[in-house]
């Protein structure tokens, strides 16, 4: 099977997510080049040329490492995907037949403005695993520069033209496979992508200048025609230590095979979970990264006609987003309002709450989610076991924030002592300890307002005085 065939089959399911990654934040609401939000773009996966340096926070390379379990005779397919910046300028036709740059051309259906477009690029390769075991593989690539000129006409009359320019870019994909000392036939796959474009900035060149020579929204699709990848976020016990030794720089590998299979990995520039999915209710691509379709659709539909003309002249994709929002029927908008993905036991509890005898501790007429709706729990008196000892309100503990927490502020709480104010149970059955930190001058104010810090039992230890 060729790499193209493998990509067509194995990567088909992952490509919808990969496309969302490729255009994450490509153009932001309100979809106009003049909007302040669209003055600083290309936030994810920017691989700048090496001559630009890293002082800007951008880097010329990225590294993906993951574990694979290939079968004998397996082929590894690799698909590098990125956007190349295409600079579009707008020129007005002068009376003498020449052209001059202008900020915009006003057309009946749009206001055509200068803009940086994104051109999709793809580098495909397939390598037999046995060959990759024997020796590392490096595949360079080159995308030449080009200039495209297109006339702008209205009612048969030429008003001007657009000039689109792409600078040349060079890069390379490096693949290394290392066998692991584990009970199964498994390897560590290292896939590095680097921008090797020999562009050197001159004084005054900034990130905007470097973008024309960069790989943007860079990500990889990796696939095996025989074998599987190991989850990097939930590995089996035998692979946990080797997963911890993997180094991923500016890349986040997740399983993305069809129907939950582990034969494809998406190495993304943004953090995703294994087997990410596009919500089936989503009516189409709205591009404004991390936003909610319903909010975007409603906001876009409130744009003035002039704003919509500016959006259509900014970018074809922006115009498509505006037209999509305008065309959504009420039943589709209603579907965007929310969806129930699964029902848990709390749903039955809610339905039975009207009958006090059906749910022990339920209070008639009080919603199941109200803290006063269940007399079986009391945050002031409930206790939980920590290291075999009972802990509740009034006890002192030492804070040990766990790895699953993502708030950088937790670093400042590591090892601090705190007073337990309450023991709380959420609707999913998890236990949380509400605490105030010793020495916090605002502790009395937080206590009066009922505002606390929350930790789970495995994130605390008993203080010596407890």
Co-location of 354 and 391 in the same domain: no
Co-location of 356 and 411 in the same domain: no
- 256 exposed, middle or buried (CB, 10 Å; 0-12, 13-18, 19+)? buried
Co-location of 100 and 11 in the same domain: yes
Residue 351 lies in a domain: yes
Co-location of 366 and 426 in the same domain: no
Neighbouring C-beta atoms of residue 289, cutoff 10 Å? 16
Co-location of 403 and 273 in the same domain: no
Q: Long-range CB contacts (< 8 A, 24+ apart) of 260-264?
A: 261/228, 262/228, 262/229, 262/230, 262/231, 263/10, 263/223, 263/224, 263/225, 263/227, 263/228, 263/229, 264/10, 264/11, 264/13, 264/14, 264/221, 264/222, 264/223, 264/224, 264/229
Co-location of 362 and 352 in the same domain: yes
Handedness of CA 447, 448, 450, 451 (dihedral sign): negative
> For 50-99, what is each residue's pLDDT tens digit?
999 888 789 999 999 999 999 999 999 999 999 999 999 999 999 999 99
Residue 127 lies in a domain: yes
Q: Which two tokens stand for residue 255?
A: 């399983």
Residue 338 lies in a domain: no
Contact 40, 58 (CB under 8 A): no
Co-location of 316 and 370 in the same domain: no
Co-location of 439 and 363 in the same domain: no
Co-location of 456 and 352 in the same domain: no
- φ, ψ of residue 22 in degrees (nearest 5): -60, -40
What is the bridge-based pairing of β-strands 187-195 and 227-229?
unpaired
Domain that residue 422 falls in: 377-462
Residue 22 lies in a domain: yes
Contact 186, 180 (CB under 8 A): yes
Co-location of 134 and 255 in the same domain: yes
Can you say how many angstroms the Cα of residue 16 is from the centroid of all Cα atoms in its chain?
13
Total structural domains within the chain: 3
> For 369-404, what is each residue's pLDDT tens digit?
666 666 667 888 899 998 888 999 999 999 998 777
Residue 337 lies in a domain: no
Co-location of 310 and 452 in the same domain: no
> For 396-452, what is each residue's pLDDT tens digit?
999 998 777 777 788 889 999 999 999 998 877 789 999 999 999 999 998 998 899
Residue 311 lies in a domain: yes
Residue 390 lies in a domain: yes
Residue 339 lies in a domain: no
Co-location of 282 and 314 in the same domain: yes
């Amino acid at each position: 099977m060729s790499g193209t065939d493998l990509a067509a089959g194995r990567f088909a399911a992952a490509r919808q997510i990969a496309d969302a990654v490729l255009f994450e934040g490509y153009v932001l609401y309100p979809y106009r080049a003049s909007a302040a939000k669209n003055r600083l773009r290309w936030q994810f996966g920017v691989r700048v040329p090496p001559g630009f340096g890293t002082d800007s926070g951008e880097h010329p390379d990225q590294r993906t490492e993951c574990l694979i379990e290939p079968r004998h005779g397996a082929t590894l397919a690799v698909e590098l995907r990125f956007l190349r910046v295409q600079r579009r300028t707008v020129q007005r036709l002068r009376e003498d037949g020449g052209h001059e740059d202008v900020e915009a051309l006003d057309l009946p259906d749009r206001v055509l403005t200068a803009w940086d477009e994104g051109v999709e690029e793809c580098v495909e390769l397939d390598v037999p695993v046995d060959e990759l075991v024997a020796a590392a593989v490096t595949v360079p690539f080159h995308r030449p520069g080009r200039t495209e000129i297109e006339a702008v006409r209205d009612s048969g009359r030429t008003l001007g033209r657009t000039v689109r320019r792409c600078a040349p870019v060079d890069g390379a994909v490096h693949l290394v496979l290392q066998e692991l000392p584990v009970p199964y036939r498994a390897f560590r796959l290292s896939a590095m992508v680097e921008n090797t474009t020999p562009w050197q900035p001159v004084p005054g060149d900034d990130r905007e200048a470097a973008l024309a020579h960069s790989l943007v929204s860079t990500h990889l699709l990796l696939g095996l025609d025989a074998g599987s990848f190991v989850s990097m976020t939930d590995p089996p016990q035998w692979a946990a230590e080797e997963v911890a030794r993997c180094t991923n720089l500016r890349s986040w590998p997740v399983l993305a095979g069809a129907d939950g299979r582990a034969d494809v990995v998406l190495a993304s520039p943004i953090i995703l979970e294994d087997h990410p999915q596009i919500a089936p209710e989503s009516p189409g691509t709205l591009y404004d990264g991390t936003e909610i379709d319903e909010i975007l659709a409603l906001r876009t539909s409130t744009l003035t006609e002039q704003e919509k003309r500016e959006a259509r002249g900014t970018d074809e994709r922006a115009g498509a987003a505006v037209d999509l929002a305008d065309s959504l029927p009420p039943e589709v908008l209603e579907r965007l309002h929310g969806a129930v993905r699964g029902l848990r036991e709390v749903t039955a509890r809610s339905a039975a709450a009207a009958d006090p005898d059906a749910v022990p501790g339920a209070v008639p007429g009080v919603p199941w989610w109200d803290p006063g709706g269940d007399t079986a729990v009391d945050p002031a008196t409930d206790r939980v076991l920590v290291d075999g000892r009972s802990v509740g309100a009034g006890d002192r503990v030492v804070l040990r924030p766990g790895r699953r927490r993502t708030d950088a502020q937790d670093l400042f709480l590591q090892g601090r002592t705190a007073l337990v104010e309450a023991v709380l149970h959420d609707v999913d059955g998890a236990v949380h300890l509400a605490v105030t930190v010793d020495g916090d001058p605002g502790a009395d104010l937080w206590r009066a307002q009922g505002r606390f810090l929350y930790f789970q039992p495995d994130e605390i230890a008993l203080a010596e005085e407890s």
